[in-house]
Amino acid sequence: MNSAENIFHKEIVVKSSTDNLSQIRDFTKAAAEFSGFSEETVGKIILAVDEACTNIIKHAYKNSPDGQIDLSIKLENGKFSISIIDHGVHFDPTRIPEPDLKEYYKQKRVGGLGMFLIKRLMDEVNYYTLSGNKNQVILVKYLSR
Amino acid sequence: MAEFNVNLRGVGSVSVIDVKGYLDAHTAPELENVFNNLLDQKQYQVVVNFDDLKYISSAGLGVFMAYVETMRENQGDIKFSNMKENVYNIFDLLGFPILYEFFKEEKDAIQKFSEQV
């Protein structure tokens, strides 16, 4: 593959409703398949993006469907990165501990599972605070791994 | 919109829930409703048949975590059957095989309840 073929950039903007999760998954699936990932890895990427957007809908927008989620996916030199930006309430992901499933099960706490999954499914996960009270998470998967 | 269907069957004293399609944060409440109905009817022995489930996210897994304790406190359980590999891998990633029983066939999961009595 030459460098020209190994670059693309796609974006969508959706409202913060769980109704839109299937559209988000379809968008992610098309981009990951186009980039040449295996079926298994495509599945991991789709789930990670679903989990990140679900967290935004539930925590940043507190289940209000009127918020905005900006998804941007690009492939560059084998690095597939998904930027997800919201304009909701900031939350610090580093303050959420990795779940102990037995403790979760006892306490009926289920919220932190998504964060844990994202870390397991992707090669890199980075959170940023942008100007204008925006939050960004960038999920990265490398084609070569 | 994600397609998801949930169906409830009785097999002897065991309640079998068939899940089909995509189980995510949008569709998980439909599954919660079924579990709430089971609790109302004091039905605590549950097998979830995943044969037609294509996708699950943590919102779906959270439903099982939310109800399993109540089922077990009442001499019941939630057991899983007919799970596709891609779906099982998510359960495995979160350590579910330590806490839940998985069966290849629905009848084996149902049979396990009768052995426990």
Q: Which domains does chain A have, with CATH numbers?
A: 7-142 (3.30.565.10)
B2 vs B89, which has greater pLDDT? Answer: B89
What is the predicted pLDDT for the residue at A70? Answer: 98
Give the residue carrying structure tokens 């507190």: A62
- Name residues 59-98 of chain A within 8 A of B (Cβ): none
Model confidence at B78: pLDDT above 80: yes
In the structure, what pLDDT confidence band is assigned to residue A117 with cuts at 50, 70 and 90? Answer: very high
A40/B86 Cβ within 8 A: yes
- For residue A7, the distance in angstroms to the closest alpha carbon of chain B comes to 29
Calculate mean pLDDT across residues B58-87: 96
Query: What confidence score (pLDDT) does residue A144 get?
Result: 84
Q: Quick check: B66 and A125 in contact, CB under 8 A? A: no
CB A82 within 8 A of CB A73: yes
User: Does the complex come out with an ipTM higher than 0.90?
Assistant: yes
Residue A1 reports pLDDT greater than 50:
no
pLDDT at A94 over 70: no
Q: Are A104 and B82 in contact, with CB atoms under 8 Å apart?
A: no
Token pair 């919660």 in the structure block, residue: B32
pLDDT at A90: 81
pLDDT of residue A2: 45
| pLDDT score of B25 more than 50 | yes
Question: Do A18 and B57 meet the contact criterion of CB atoms below 8 Å apart?
Answer: no
Residue B1 with chain A: CB contacts under 8 Å:
19, 22
pTM for the predicted model, two decimal places: 0.91
CB contacts under 8 A, A 2-31 vs B, are 18-19, 21-22, 25
Kindly report, residue by residue over A33-88, the tens digit of the pLDDT.
999 999 999 999 999 999 999 999 998 999 999 999 999 999 999 999 999 999 99
How confident is the model at residue A89, as a pLDDT?
87
Q: Which of B25, B58, B98 sits opposite A117 (nearest CB)?
A: B58
A4, pLDDT greater than 60: no
Judge whether residue B116 has pLDDT over 70: no
Whether B87 has a pLDDT exceeding 60, the answer reads yes
Cβ contact A21–B25 (<8 Å): yes
CATH code of the region B4-116: 3.30.750.24
The helix (H) or strand (E) run that includes residue B4 is: strand B4-11
Distances (CA, A) of B82 to A81, B20, B47: 34, 12, 10
Percent of chain A as helix, strand, coil, to the nearest 5? 40, 30, 30
Domain limits, chain B: 4-116
Burial B5-30 (b: 16+ CB within 10 A, else e): ebeeeeeeebbbbbbbbbbbbbbbee
